[in-house]
Structure 1
């Protein structure tokens, strides 16, 4: 059963849901969904993030708070008193974590520690920690989709910071009476994603080529890798489904959020190329090739399906169309404002 209402689990009304990283890519999709589902249900949704939240949904409150500002964070949590926290905030780029590991650790671990200190004021809360499918790392060398039973073997700074975050929470949250649910989303795409991520990069380059702003040559990295992609709307629905069933989830639960259907990056590019309005060439750019590439990374989301009935609903065709249309629209807006 899909949690079309935050009452989907038969839990109490009056949930108070806090989303960190609310001004980011996924936050921009989760907040409207939670706002819609909580309308008229007596639930309250709030977001915090760095900077101003664009297009804030009606009925959602927001505060600009950096997780490294411990005092501001403690004050907000004490006032809002969340019953559920969806922790999206953090640095999410593998490439950026490689070039700036110190900042990745500061934000992803120090910020998390500050949030844990803040939630001491709200025992009984459920903490949904958004980790990453990246934590499996070298375990992917098995060559098939992995379940949550597989021991993570992270290979990069970003993945290690997420895996350490999981361990910290397992140690600290039981001491303050807060339930932990770990979420491990795999690659997700959609409107609003930064071009540091591969599909958004392809779409942004295609939009600029179509507009005649750059030569008809698209730069790529390794195209042979297989990755597990989801539309961000499906990821947001998975988060909302689990939040709606917080009372029924066991403490320490771990859920993969994945399609289980890996695709080569080359096939993704060809699918986008078929939607492009002009032809272009492809050039491998050495700086775009990751040195620690895993040949295949995919997840088994059977546990999530069993718990909530969740399954991907956005077709691959629709997902790619959304990404490319968004890249074109953002470019058009930038040219108008420029």
Structure 2
């Protein structure tokens, strides 16, 4: 029988790509998405339409935080793996609309945990964020570093989900891996992310907002590389023995947190230069101060993930940006 994955956020950027990859590998996928209007719902529905064309996919539209919804789906589907990617995203939006982060990220994750307690999967994998490292200035960020001073409410809710999942892993023996993603980009990406905004503005001859006067670095991670990491980690459920002193494995639960990043931070202005090269157009730049809740740099230590599943592909920034620009032109021309 085909293996089964329950993927939340299946109409989202990462969930869409992951579901495609699992379906191609012969998995059955049950996808849940709230299709919220945080950004263009047309883009989300188009992603789900593409997945629905695959015989192994079933998509459900609904909010995570709806009492009993997730549990009912999990009890019927009985997945081998639960991959929880759905969340209210956005550092800056969390300043303006914090309640939505409580509902989706905290209450929604609680519903996932309760469903897993009722019908335990072989492995539960939940998305966190590199923003969880917050004010930590030690780089590259390693999973064993302290992460106690989050800089945004978004990051605070994601760090809270790590603790929530740890308690369930301890109490109920649920093998759990938390992902800390680092600035994911690529085709079908989110319109609220810098790459999407920059490409759209540059193609229309509009200025782009460059924060902290451009003195920022991000560990940009191409979507295919990230999905490769998630898929491999499905079969690397935490056990009882750490793989090294760098392992974040809990001493009291089958739980660990794992970075998934490119491991090579890029200067923001170099990122803009890659977009200029891909579009063939120069950017007009509004150089602005740092925004509240943001951090000047991110950089993933890849030691743990490579010990668990081997080296991942690392798409260079110019190749990845070119692929996004090619997709953007094709999608919006159509």
Counterpart selection for 1:95 from 92, 95, 99: 92
Aligned runs of 1:1-338 on 2, under 5 Å? 14-37=2-25, 39=26, 43-51=27-35, 52=45, 53-56=48-51, 57-139=54-136, 141-142=137-138, 144-152=139-147, 153-209=149-205, 216-222=206-212, 223-246=214-237, 251-284=254-287, 289-333=290-334
Cα deviations by residue, 1:150-171 (Å, 9 ceiling, x for unpaired): 0113111111001100101111
Distance in 2 between residues matched to 1:62 and 1:276, nearest whole Å: 35
TM-score normalised by length of structure 2? 0.85
TM-score normalised by length of structure 1? 0.85
Cα deviations by residue, 1:128-184 (Å, 9 ceiling, x for unpaired): 011111100111x23x21111101131111110011001011112333332111111
Please tell me whether the aligned partners of residues 177 and 256 of structure 2 are also in contact (alpha carbons under 8 angstroms). yes
Structure 2 equivalent of residue 336 of structure 1? none
User: Cα gap change, 1:184/1:280 in structure 2, threshold over 3 Å: closer, same or farther?
Assistant: closer
Distance in 2 between residues matched to 1:70 and 1:300, nearest whole Å: 38
Please tell me whether the aligned partners of residues 175 and 255 of structure 2 are also in contact (alpha carbons under 8 angstroms). yes
Distance in 1 between residues matched to 2:126 and 2:92, nearest whole Å: 22
SS of the residue aligned with 2:64? coil
Q: Post-superposition shift, 1:100? A: 0.8
**Most deviating of 23-32 and 176-185:** 176-185
Distance in 2 between residues matched to 1:206 and 1:100, nearest whole Å: 29
Cα deviations by residue, 1:245-288 (Å, 9 ceiling, x for unpaired): 337686112210112211111110012112223344222367xx
Distance in 2 between residues matched to 1:245 and 1:191, nearest whole Å: 27
Q: Post-superposition shift, 1:194? A: 1.9
Please tell me whether the aligned partners of residues 238 and 255 of structure 2 are also in contact (alpha carbons under 8 angstroms). no
Question: Alignment RMSD, CA only?
Answer: 2.0
User: Cα gap change, 1:260/1:176 in structure 2, threshold over 3 Å: closer, same or farther?
Assistant: same
Structure 2 equivalent of residue 3 of structure 1? none
Distance in 2 between residues matched to 1:45 and 1:146, nearest whole Å: 32
Distance in 1 between residues matched to 2:321 and 2:122, nearest whole Å: 37
Q: Post-superposition shift, 1:31? A: 0.6
User: Cα gap change, 1:293/1:175 in structure 2, threshold over 3 Å: closer, same or farther?
Assistant: closer
Q: Post-superposition shift, 1:220? A: 2.9
Gaps of 5+ in 1: 1-12, 210-215, 334-338
Q: Post-superposition shift, 1:239? A: 0.4
Q: Post-superposition shift, 1:65? A: 2.4
Q: Post-superposition shift, 1:124? A: 4.7
Please tell me whether the aligned partners of residues 91 and 294 of structure 2 are also in contact (alpha carbons under 8 angstroms). no
Gaps of 5+ in 2: 36-44, 241-248
Distance in 2 between residues matched to 1:89 and 1:292, nearest whole Å: 21
Cα deviations by residue, 1:65-86 (Å, 9 ceiling, x for unpaired): 2101122222111100112111
Distance in 1 between residues matched to 2:66 and 2:5, nearest whole Å: 20
Distance in 2 between residues matched to 1:308 and 1:280, nearest whole Å: 39
